[in-house]
Amino acid sequence: MRIISRDVRSIFILWLLPSILSAAEPQTEHTYRLADGEQHPAATLDDAKWMVGSWAGTAFGKRFEEVWNPPSAGSMVGMFKLFGDDGVSMYELMVMTVEDGTLSLKIRHFDPDFTAWEDKTEDVTLKLVRKDEDELHFGTISFYRRGQDRIDAYVLFGEGDDAFERPLVYERIPSP
């Protein structure tokens, strides 16, 4: 099945909705959710510093670029662009902060003409549900550090018995 053959916007909407399931038990092979009664793990931006840099890779049959700036002023800012030979499919702007003692990942999505998917007062907010030294799990997206120059991410689509994940493979873009 080729995910990109569907409308990219509708596919991303599937994983945008924060999980209503309450840490950390498997949802799919690489994604986790909070177990009933469990709390979000304590975390700081230092736990995400390994994401800093410029990255490129493939996902959904297209290419992507993503950039994360170093922590400063209590946040990290990220930018994502999904594109192919037919042009840009979508953009994302992301902000990672610490809220209530854990990492919070806020995301806004945009069409190629920069029309926002979310209302101006809305964003997609994902809270950290599990962390390990080389892993950050936000429920509908998990990041795995595979060395200094590679990150594997997995995006969750669907829910319950219909849940499935799709990979994004990040390779670091060397600094000029």
- Tens of pLDDT, residues 130-175: 999 999 999 889 999 999 999 999 998 887 778 888 999 999 998 8
- What are phi and psi for residue 8, nearest 5 degrees? -55, -40
The helix/strand/coil state of 16 is: helix
CB atoms within 10 A of CB 15: 22
Closest CA to 155 of 146, 147, 144: 144
Report the relative pairing of strands 102-110 and 53-59 from DSSP bridges.
Answer: unpaired
Regarding pTM above 0.85, the answer is no
160/129 Cα distance (integer angstroms): 17
167/29 Cα distance (integer angstroms): 11
Contact 55, 159 (CB under 8 A): no
CATH of 3-171, one of 1.10.260, 2.40.128, 1.10.10, 3.30.160: 2.40.128
Q: Return the pLDDT at 15.
A: 42
Structural domain boundaries in the chain: 3-171
12/64 Cα distance (integer angstroms): 14
**Amino acid present at 29:** E
